[in-house]
Structure formats: C-alpha cells, structure tokens
Structure 1
Amino acid sequence: MHFGNIIPASILINQYTEHFVSPIHADQNNLLKHLGGMGPYVKGTGFGLCPELEWNAKPEKVFIFARHGERYPTEPVAKRLKAVFDKLKNADVKKQEGPLSFIKDWEFFIPGPDWCGMETLYGDFNGFQTMFDFGKSIQLKYGYLYKDCDEKLPIFTAGKRRCVDSAEEFGKGFFNDNDEKYNAQAKVIVLDETKRMGADTLTTSVSCKKYIRHGEYYKHPFIGKYMISEAKRLNTLSPGFNITAKDVYALAVFCAYELDAVGESRVCDALSLNTFVELEYFRDSEMWYEKAAHPYSFALGSVYVDAMIKLFEEQETKENLFFSFTHDTELLHFMNALGIFEYQKEDLSTRNIDFLRFFKTSELVPMGARIVIERYTINKEHYIRVLINDAVIPIPECQNGPFFTCKLTKLNHIVSEKMKGNNFVDKCRITEERPQELTFYWDWRERC
C-alpha cells in the first residue's frame, strides 16, 4: 500500500521544523535545499516561470531522464556514519545534555550491510514512494500520450538495484497501482552498468575508461570554516563528546540519509542550519569539479542529449513517452551537454562560499531528481521546454521560442557543433567491438 509523503505531526511540532519549508518560512530556510543532493527529493526553485503554458498547447512527446529515488548510503559512506555513531554512543559522558542529549536513545538507521545503496522502504521520504508518486504525476500530466492498447510501454533503467526498483515503482504509479495493467503493459528494460555497453548505455561514465582515469580533477578542495565553530558550540552545550569539525560533517551527512531512510532525524535538530549551508557547498564544489564541469562531462552527456534530439526529430514514433532511470552523475553530464551549466559563469570558488552560484546539487540532483523535456509543435516548428525538478529552466543559449522554449533545429545545431572533436566515441576511445551509438530507445523490442 502506498501512502502520501506527508510530514507527520511529530515532526511539525518538533523544534527542527524551522529547517523545513512552511508558509511562514522562506524557501531558503528549507533544510531539504541544503543537503547537497544526499537528501530527499525537493522541487527546484527555478526562475518563477509557470510550469503550465499560458495557452492550451500540449506536448506531443516527452523525454524523462531521472535519478533513482531516496536510498541508503553506499558502503564507504555508511562506514563513516557508523564511526561517528560509535564515537558518540560510546563516549563516557555522565550527563548527556544540550543538542546531543538524544545520544543515549540514539539508534543506527541502517539495518545491515546488505541495505547499503538500496532504495529506502520506510518513512515519509522513502524512495519507493517517491518514485510511485512520480509515476502517478506523470500519468496525470502526460498520460494522454500513451495509448491504452496492446503496445508495451518501455521504461529504461541502469542496472543497479536501486535504479531498477525506481523504474518499477514509477511504472506502478503510472498505471495507478493496477498490477494487472502494469504487468501486461509495462516493460522494464535493464541496461548493464559495464564498459562493454559502450555508447548504448545509461551510464556513459562507466563505459568511458578515459573519464575514470581522469578522475580526481578536484585538486584544491574547499576548506570549510563554519563547522569548526559548530564543533565548539556542540562541545560547549553538550560537553564530553569531544566533537571535531570532521564529526560535524559526518553528522550533517547522517541527517540527510536518516531522512531518506526514516523520514525524521534528531541529528538534524542538533545542528544549525548554517552547518548545512556549508555542507551543501562542500558537496557542490566537489560535484562541480569532479562531475558537472569535468573535461569529459559534455562528451558523456552528449550521448543522451543526441538521442533525445533524434527522438524528437521523428515525426511519428510508436512511443511518445520515453522514461529513463539512472544516477545523479549521469544527470549532471546530461545537463552539461544540454547547456544548462552556462548559467554558472565561473568555476566555484574553493576559498569562500559562492552564495550567488547557479550550481546547487540540492536544486539539480536531489534523490529522485528528474529532467523532463517536452516537445511542442508551434506554427509547424518543433520547440522543446526543459523542467528540472518541476521548475522550468530555459536553455541559456536557446530560449527565443514561445514561452522561452528552444527551437529543436537550433538545439541540434548547437549540440552538433560542440560534438565536433568532442564526441563520446572518440574522446573515450570506445573500441570497435563495443556499441558506437545509443540505440536502445529504438531497438528495445529486439532485446526482450
């Protein structure tokens, strides 16, 4: 049974509700906006553009490129969280008081090692529910594009279990939890996350050996300052735990994943919102240099964008809805190739927090992130519109169409020009025995 993502009353009356969005708090005070892509899904702020067009035009095709739903931390992160948990739990503190007074009753939220990296099942922000609700919302908005007939509805997914779970739950939501319809009409196509997939994949970052070798591009990491002060504050108000700035960082990450897994977290309540603002920038600067603005990022994302353009160029196709589920890294590469990061005029500072930056991982790739691209035909010309996490984001280099849309032919020209000398196959040296192009959107029936 599926329940709505409603924040329970116990949270609403809790002190740390100041961190959650509410009618009396500005969006900037929403904790979910500062969890660096590790926390639950949250809608994008955008630029104030209406998600619905001002007249009755409806898209004829929709392409969705989404991240999996909320998950447990991967094993390396889980080990770091367990280390700070054990340190605080085993501290010899006779009187536990202040922000950390909950430690005596504190429980670790990961049931066991087998749960690491898996989609979360419980709590108000669980990944299964997020993806089910996503599917349901897409059916309500674009369901008219799927003809209820014998034709299967393909749902493409990367091979990790959390991505497959997301694709399946999305499909169940799309078919309104009707198991008979889902089993009869949905077809989940799983694409391996291996190098042998070449360009025919939803994980080009795995296929590209050169990209993997070119890692660690983030040579001068951001060094935070506020977490040092936060550690002093906690040690003053809750003496005896000997909290360090490193512990504060781990606790902030703990908060994000505990929300994903349980739906609430007393750790969130113990930390100041400024701590999460700094956490977010730690994550943003790391993801900017190692993923989003990486020298190989455009080439990796161009595979997906080029496929989307080709699908949208076709006048008639058997499908008008294209659903894909993968990882946050792939979404960042997609946005790079689409030109979204042109809004970020300069590389992120590693000396101080750039408060005016466009690139914020919580805005762009929270758990359950989704890029929705709509194709319209206006005066016999095709135009596209981009929504990232439900917020309309015009393409910086291409927004002169009606309602800040982008003419498809212009986007094709922009991307094609950038791909010259920077295409995936050449840059990543994909050998001839591996797929040289992405074809699964067209030949998926042959693979079933």
Structure 2
Amino acid sequence: MATFAAVAALLGVASAGPVLAPVNDIVFPATAHSSNPLIYSGGNTPYYTGPNVNGISNEVPSQCTVQQAAYVVRHGSRFPDSGSYGSWVALEEKIQAAVNGKGFKARDELSFIADWKTVLTNTTLQMSQESMTGRKEAVDLGYTLRARYPDFYEDGHPFYVWANQYANPISTSRVVQTAQAFLQGYMYEFADTYGKVVSVNSTGSVNAIGNSLGPSDACPLYVNNAYNNVTNWDATWMPAAIKRINALVSGNLTFTETDLTFFPYLCAYESQITGRLSDWCNVFTQDELTKYAYSQDLSYWYGVGPGSSDPTKLLFLPFLESFLDLLAQGPGQNGTDVDGSPFTVPKLIMAFLNDNQIAELTAGMDLFQEQTPLPDDRIPSNHLYNVAHFITMRGTVGFEVLNCETTTKKKTTEDTYLRILLNDAVYPLPMCKSGPGSSCLLSDYVTYIKKKNAEAGNFIDYCNVTQAGHPETVAGASFFTDLTQDFLTLVSP
C-alpha cells in the first residue's frame, strides 16, 4: 500500500488542494427558540470551529509555510461524572414524583418531561468515559491534521502524542482515550503498530511537580473560586426564567435555580451522548441561553482564567517557557526514548488535557490581555473571552510555527513566526501581532514568556510545595523530550 506522503508526492498538488475534512464534526440543529442551542452550553458544548471574531483568515499567509505545529487539546465529549449524574437522577425522580401525583400537567416546551429518563444505560461502564461523539471528535481531529499538514508525518515511523493521565487506572482516563482515538484518525490502520500515547501522571513523582500537563495537581495553593461572580450574575436573570418555566407546569412540581442550571447542561450532554438533539435544547429561550453561556464565561474567567487569583494563572508559565524553547529550536529535535535510545520529536506535537488546563494555559499566555475584567451585572458587547469558542469539548489551542519571507526595498529575509488558533480561529497575541497574518516573531514571544515566568517567581515558592524531594526549580515540559522519566507511561492506541 502506498503511504500518504507517497500519494501526496504523486499527486503533486495534494498539499495545496482543498482539504476534504469537514469544518465541524457534527451538525448543530435549530429549535423553535434558537438557531443553534448547542453552542450556548459553554464548556459542555460539543466541538465546533470557532467564529472568526478577530476578522483574520486562518489560511496560511501567502508568504509563509508551516514548518511545525503543536496542538493542546481538551478531551472529547464524554459521559457525566458521578456527581453531575447524581443531579440528573435527582431531577428525574423529582419530575416522576410530580407525574405520579395529583394535577400534573406539562405544556409546550416541557411537554416531554413526563416520559423523560436519563440517557445513561450502563453507568458502571459509561461514567466519566468518552462518548461516541467524543471519539468521533478525536478521530476527526486526527484526520483533519493529517490532511492539513501532509508533510509532517510519513507512514511507518513511530509517532508519539502526550496526554494528562487524569485517572487511575489509565484505561479509564477520558483524556488518554481521546489521545488514542486521535491516533486512530491520524494513522488509521497503522496506529496500533507505530502510534503511542505518552501518559503524563501529574502526581506520579516529585519529578512531575511543575512538569506535567496538570500542574495544578501539584500546587497546594491552587484555588478555583468564581462562585460570587456567577451567583451575582445569575441573580439578574434566573428569577424571570424560573417564573416563566414554572408557568409551563402544574401539580406538585416547582423547578429551582439549581434545576434550571442543568437544562442547558442536559441539552449538550444528552445530544452528544445519543447523537440526537435533546428535548432539553428547546426549553430555554435564546435570551436565556445567551445569559447561561455568560455564566460559563464568568466561571472560567474568575475561576481558572485571566481573572483568577494567583497562583492559578501562573501555573502554566514553566510549561510555556520550556515548550516555546522547544519550538524555537525548530523541527527535528532529538529526544530520549523510553529505552534510552534517541527519537525525533514530531513536527506535529499533540498534548491532551482537561478544560481547566486550557483556561490556565491561555491565561498564562496573556492571550486575552486586552479583555477588560468581565462584569457580573451585564454582558459586555463583543466580549472576546467566550469559553464556547475554545474550551468546548475537544477544544484546541493551536501553535503554528511559520517560516515567512519578508521583502523590503533593500533585501528579502526569512523569519520564524508564531500564530495561535483557538478552535481553528486566529487569535493574535495582543503584545505581539505585527507579523504576517497578525502573527508574532517567535523569538519575541519566547523572550516575553521568559520574562513573565521570571517575574512570577519559582513554582515551588508560589505554590508552597513542601513535598519531600521536590525539585528546586521545575522543568516545565521536559516530558516532550525525555521519555525515561518515572511519571510517564506508554499506552497503545
């Protein structure tokens, strides 16, 4: 069988021709209330390509080529965790108690609830795991990136991706499951032979402190607290929504604010679990969906994003410095394999993790530096920090390293630039965007992050790490180049 690269070479135009991958992995149906209710579920939203909010084409600038890329990716769509599922069951039991009581009636958007049951069929097997939509999202990402960067990999060579272990045993980690599915899409029938997931256990060793894909796990002073901001905002709109929705039912059933917060949640989860749009997606009006989505923005902004307290928004700085240093060295760098032999770091570096880590990473990057703090009494017009644009299920932070030719009257030069894509939409770095396509000179951003990391201080100090044997200085992201470390495990697709 001819390899992908060989076919591309024979066709000649494969690299330049239109990519066959669809823009989105699934369709996003409308309801009577909303043209697209699924995109208002914040971090629970299934993956979709982000809108071009900055007005910058995501096509590679004409004078540039992509010489290397890295994608930091949230796990794909999934089944709920046990805590959330318990709330689903409680809601079902509450509704059924009313259905079996006197005078129950549900009208209009809620007419379905008399027969509603939670959609999980085998909780022992399904709980917290990647769903069928999540698997499709990951496989499709593999297909998309293989087609997008056809020269980055050739069949028959080893290929590593990295994943935050997150759960024990490793086989139950939805993050690792997403990485495995990505390999199936990227390498198809050759994945089992040549593909490997490097599972990074953030608490597996003192060597993983400040040197993992989940640095908060080793930071005793880490906090996530956005409750006041979310509570303040919900107080401005929830009472009216509760009144409207309770008017649709009679009998011994009164929905509370807690109940209502699960309606858009159920919309997203039931839809991606079953592959069919949930009836819950038609309960909230468009105005209510918009306000619920802003609650999600506030939760991430103040909990784990740019508005969070220290040290939360500092946690990924060691990672960023180490990772950007690796990109600055250029493609083809050598690393140390598990057995001590050399391996070549892929031209496409893939790292899979969780939603909070995406928020912490982008906060450390200063990507939303120009966003004023989000108010909790109104929705600001055109606010850039919209979590449904980048912290969706299988949300992506893409780093494209561009080799660009620039010409002046005196000379033509080639320089290396970096551009950032969130769910495939270009987001310029506010402090550095004068390059082609609003990119940043890579060396300038490396310098910026080094300075920011130095000013933040030592991870060990600002996290108050006291664990015996901890390193004096954390390594950040050494796991990309040294697979011999004791907190890493290789997993087959």
The two structures have a TM-score, normalised by structure 1, of 0.87
Quote how far apart the aligned CAs of 1:193 are. 3.6
- Residue number among 115, 139, 163 corresponding to 1:132 in the alignment: 139
- Residue number among 414, 428, 431 corresponding to 2:463 in the alignment: 428
Quote how far apart the aligned CAs of 1:287 are. 1.4
Matched, 1:194 2:210: no
SS of match in other structure, 2:250: coil
Q: 2 CA distance for matches of 1:6 and 1:364?
A: 17
Choose 196-205 or 95-104, whichever is displaced more: 95-104
Counterparts in 2 of 1:305 and 1:98: CA distance versus 1, 3 Å: same
Larger proportion of helix: 1
Q: 1 CA distance for matches of 2:232 and 2:316?
A: 26
Q: 1 CA distance for matches of 2:221 and 2:248?
A: 49
Pair member with larger Rg: 2
- Residue number among 287, 296, 306 corresponding to 2:311 in the alignment: 296
- Is residue 192–residue 201 contact of structure 1 (8 Å, CA) maintained in 2? yes
Query: Could you list the per-position Cα deviations for residues 59-94 of structure 1 after superposition, in whole angstroms to 9, with x for gaps in the alignment?
Result: 111111000000122222222222222212221344
Query: Could you list the per-position Cα deviations for residues 133-153 of structure 1 after superposition, in whole angstroms to 9, with x for gaps in the alignment?
Result: 011100000131123343x11
Matched, 1:170 2:182: yes
CA RMSD of aligned residues (A): 2.3
Percent sequence identity is 23
Pairwise mapping of residues 363-378 of structure 1 onto structure 2 (< 5 A)?
A: 363-378=389-404
SS of match in other structure, 1:133: helix
Q: 2 CA distance for matches of 1:148 and 1:17?
A: 48
Match of 1:24 in 2: none
- Is residue 417–residue 441 contact of structure 2 (8 Å, CA) maintained in 1? yes
Matched, 1:234 2:245: yes
The two structures have a TM-score, normalised by structure 2, of 0.80
* Gap regions ≥5 residues in structure 2: 1-21, 167-172, 334-343, 405-412
Match of 2:262 in 1: 250
- Residue number among 273, 277, 284 corresponding to 2:290 in the alignment: 277
Q: 2 CA distance for matches of 1:306 and 1:439?
A: 11
Match of 1:26 in 2: none
Query: Could you list the per-position Cα deviations for residues 172-208 of structure 1 after superposition, in whole angstroms to 9, with x for gaps in the alignment?
Result: 0001x31xx1112111111114273212211011111
Query: Could you list the per-position Cα deviations for residues 238-293 of structure 1 after superposition, in whole angstroms to 9, with x for gaps in the alignment?
Result: 33332233322222222122122123200111221222212112221121111003
Q: 1 CA distance for matches of 2:38 and 2:104?
A: 34
- Residue number among 145, 148, 155 corresponding to 1:148 in the alignment: 155
Q: 1 CA distance for matches of 2:120 and 2:179?
A: 23
- Residue number among 186, 191, 211 corresponding to 1:182 in the alignment: 191
- Is residue 254–residue 267 contact of structure 1 (8 Å, CA) maintained in 2? yes
- Residue number among 106, 112, 120 corresponding to 2:116 in the alignment: 106
Q: 1 CA distance for matches of 2:122 and 2:386?
A: 31
- Is residue 64–residue 322 contact of structure 1 (8 Å, CA) maintained in 2? yes
Match of 2:18 in 1: none
- Is residue 400–residue 420 contact of structure 2 (8 Å, CA) maintained in 1? yes
AA aligned opposite 2:481: W
Query: Could you list the per-position Cα deviations for residues 405-443 of structure 1 after superposition, in whole angstroms to 9, with x for gaps in the alignment?
Result: 101111112111111241434322445724521211001
Matched, 1:331 2:361: no
Q: 2 CA distance for matches of 1:252 and 1:95?
A: 22
Match of 1:23 in 2: none
- Is residue 226–residue 298 contact of structure 2 (8 Å, CA) maintained in 1? no
SS of match in other structure, 1:209: coil
Pairwise mapping of residues 401-440 of structure 1 onto structure 2 (< 5 A)?
A: 401-423=435-457, 424-430=459-465, 433-434=469-470, 436-437=474-475, 438-440=477-479
Q: 2 CA distance for matches of 1:40 and 1:398?
A: 31
AA aligned opposite 2:320: V
SS of match in other structure, 2:300: helix
- Is residue 252–residue 267 contact of structure 1 (8 Å, CA) maintained in 2? yes
- Is residue 33–residue 286 contact of structure 2 (8 Å, CA) maintained in 1? no
Quote how far apart the aligned CAs of 1:331 are. 1.0
Query: Could you list the per-position Cα deviations for residues 72-117 of structure 1 after superposition, in whole angstroms to 9, with x for gaps in the alignment?
Result: 2222222222222221222134443322111122121123443332
Q: 2 CA distance for matches of 1:154 and 1:445?
A: 14
- Is residue 34–residue 285 contact of structure 2 (8 Å, CA) maintained in 1? no
Quote how far apart the aligned CAs of 1:170 are. 0.4
Choose 228-237 or 153-162, whichever is displaced more: 228-237
Match of 2:47 in 1: 41
Match of 2:480 in 1: 441
Choose 404-413 or 52-61, whichever is displaced more: 52-61
Quote how far apart the aligned CAs of 1:368 are. 0.7
- Residue number among 15, 23, 31 corresponding to 1:16 in the alignment: 31
- Residue number among 87, 93, 97 corresponding to 1:86 in the alignment: 93
Match of 2:214 in 1: 203
Counterparts in 2 of 1:6 and 1:62: CA distance versus 1, 3 Å: closer
Counterparts in 2 of 1:83 and 1:354: CA distance versus 1, 3 Å: farther
Counterparts in 2 of 1:219 and 1:268: CA distance versus 1, 3 Å: closer
